[in-house]
Amino acid sequence: MLKTVDSTKSDSLLYLSAADVERAIGEDHAIFVEALEAALRAQAAGDVVQPLKPYLRRPERPHPTDRIIAMPAYVGGDVRLSGMKWIGSAHDNQRTRGLPRASAVIVLNDADSAYPLALMDGSVVSAWRTAAVSALACRFLAPAGRRLAVLGTGLLARTHLSLLRASWGRPDGVDVYDIAPGHGEAFARWAEEKHDLTVTVHDDPAACLRDADVVLAVTTAPESWIPAEWVPRGSLFLNISLADPMPDVVLTSDKIVVDCYEQVMRPGKLLHSMAEQGTFGPNRCHADLSDLVTGSRPGRETPEETIFFNPVGQAIGDIACAAAVYRRALGQGVGIHLER
């Protein structure tokens, strides 16, 4: 039953659709970077709780992106909320069902009473949170040059380019490659209309990377396919995908940074597989992202460093970003109040 109530009352549960989330955000996507930074500072202070996330998979659907993930967390500090993101993905959604690959819902709970406060579409929050992680990584790890190579041109490529354009600076150039015919050209038209950027579309991925200062991999490829010889020396490789870079990309990097070592070291992940083979371990990991945010570890120290950044996605980031959206929506009167 729907009911309009005072948002401060304990019987109020705020529901936010995807359109509501977009309405609350407007064009102020910087709130995601600020929220993520707050979560990372809380993490560095030991003021978060983040269980390892379980994956729900079906054996007859072996593609690595075919799963539902539960991502619970408590974030203290300036956020001070608990919650969970429940995010599903199917690699063939767009082709066979006409749906986006991923979908999500997020529930936020009061930290003390544990009562639910909000239920919201999580796909928008998730996409911008992912881009915010890369934006923070670029702040500390990117070289002086700003030529960006993008592998894959889906939703994450668009949120990344938009947030990097706002927080990292206008790229000197953008090169893209996508295996699907016409997708690169559609992305180029969008980038020109939305951000007044000229994008060069390549049919050769090696050529796409040739002059890159920052490489952004956002594909759904099930197997590694990018060799180290394609990655320019002195660049930053943002490994947002599951399986794009080959192990030699990691092995030839001067620094390896992750969002959270414990979360990254899960079966099926690139760095975990390398650890099982004895080619990667904690001694090869330069820092967690929270170490860079707090200054306890340095970021880029020389122009010549080739740096590999591998986030896996932290629930604390989703909860902090959802909390920012929730509070913005309350202030603007956006959403529907549900009776418990």
Active site members: 85
Residue 239 and residue 106: Cα distance in Å, rounded? 25
Residues in the chain: 340
